[in-house]
Amino acid sequence: MPGYSMNLCEDLLAKKTKQRGSKNTVNRQSSPVLYLGIGIIAILVVIALIQLGRPASPTATGVNIGVMGEAERGLTDDGLPYLGNRDAPIVIVQYEDFGCHNCKTFAESIEPNLVEQYVLDGSVLLINHPVAFVNQQSRPAAEAAECALKQDKFWEYRHILFQNQGVVPFNRDNLVNFASQAGLDTRTFSSCYDQKLYETLVVDRTLASQRRGVTGTPTFDINGTLYQGVMPIDSTNPERPGFKQIIERIQAGER
Amino acid sequence: MIKTKRRVLSITNRTEQIAIVVAYLAAIIGLLDSLYLTYVKLDTSTPAFCAPGGGCDVVNSSVYAEFMGIPIALLGAGMYLVLIGLLWLENRGGFWNQYGLMAMLGISLAGVLYSAYLTYIEIAVLHAICPYCVISAITISIFFLVTVFRLVKYQPYDD
């Protein structure tokens, strides 16, 4: 009898525990078919996300750099590429890193307007000063751009670099492929890149920019004053003036 | 026999409760992390400037950080919210008691796979690692493992 009673108690306790547990688990489904179905659905969803979200790789053959191609181009005494009138009263040195997405933003959405409004009319000389300190893409891209500069295609090559930034890695194969797209002699380019002809130059220029006070990119040295970050052409914010305000100030004789 | 059954049930319940707490923690940390990344992605008040070693900046501004114009981080936050909702609903009985864990398994598996893809993109394409993205990859992996553990260890209890 006591044994029966004990069994009954345990049975009741087990039932109670089961009931409490039932809130969490008793009705839980565990069919292997369901597991398999869920796994397949999850994989299909991820494949769809990857396929739909994958950026189209730019496949340009030949490069149209738009208004940038209309400006006079040349090299400074230090070997830096420039656009515009060498005797322009306003000199903008643009420190940029090919691994920096803000430099891409500036180059693609603001720089063409700057060139159109102030470089083509001879007001501004725009000097490009590549640096390489933002990430691992920076140095190979900067060295490759120097190799492109050697064939007088710096601006075209730079355009392609920014087009592909964050889309494909800047490894040797892609950099050579970009050279082909920019219309460069790929054999000469490959030889230049593989021999690391400009490795030291890129490092020296980066160090020089840091000595100048450049701590990130893009940075603009406008007639000796440094301005950090992407700048608009026009701005109503007095604390962050645009190129228009700074250029007008300089033209009016202010610093 | 009943004694043994009861003991096993009791231990399993405690283990499962701990597992649920771990799942909640992972989902809440993942949610906060994703919300922060979404804020960084949408915030335009800071100067657009690349500092050396700005891994998150590079990753969060890449083309891979958006899906059809929606920040990936925001989708991640949505996923964590759904997972937290399912954890809560699961305890309320009914349909979600039956299928909640299954749904969590599917969603967290998709999250783990997509996180793995994004980590590959960070390493192989962008050459930049964003610690906040790594945190999200870890939290969703923990959530997934806990869900698998719960399914494997805590089978349905039938008479």
Q: What is the pLDDT of residues A37-76, one digit of tens each?
A: 888 999 999 998 888 877 765 555 557 778 888 889 999 9
Q: How are beta strands A225-228 and B66-67 bridged, if at all?
A: unpaired
Q: How many residues does chain A have?
A: 255
Q: Do B156 and A30 touch (CB under 8 A)?
A: yes
d(CA A251, CA A106): 23
Flag whether pLDDT at A32 surpasses 80. no
Q: Which residues of B touch A232 (CB under 8 A)?
A: none
Q: Which tokens sit at B8?
A: 């096993």
Flag whether pLDDT at A13 surpasses 50. no
d(CA B134, CA A1): 63
Residue B46 pLDDT class (50, 70, 90 cuts): low
Residue A254 pLDDT class (50, 70, 90 cuts): low
Q: Give the angle A94-A97-A98 at the CA atoms, nearest 5°.
A: 120
Flag whether pLDDT at B108 surpasses 90. yes
B61 in contact with A at a CB cutoff of 8 Å?
yes
Strands, E assignment, A45-152: 73-75, 81-83, 90-97, 124-131
Flag whether pLDDT at A1 surpasses 50. no
What pLDDT does B54 receive? 60
How close A18 gets to chain B, by Cα (Å)? Answer: 8
Residue B7 pLDDT class (50, 70, 90 cuts): very low
Q: Which residue has the tokens 């490009």?
A: A128
d(CA B122, CA A163): 18
Quick check: B100 and B90 in contact, CB under 8 A? Answer: yes
Mean pLDDT of A174-202: 95
How close B72 gets to chain A, by Cα (Å)? Answer: 10
What pLDDT does A102 receive? 87
d(CA A130, CA A212): 14
What pLDDT does A64 receive? 77
Strands, E assignment, chain B: 66-67, 70-71
Q: Could you tell me the pTM of the whole model? A: 0.72
ipTM of this predicted structure: 0.76
Mean pLDDT of A166-187: 92
Flag whether pLDDT at B8 surpasses 60. no
Quick check: B34 and B136 in contact, CB under 8 A? Answer: yes
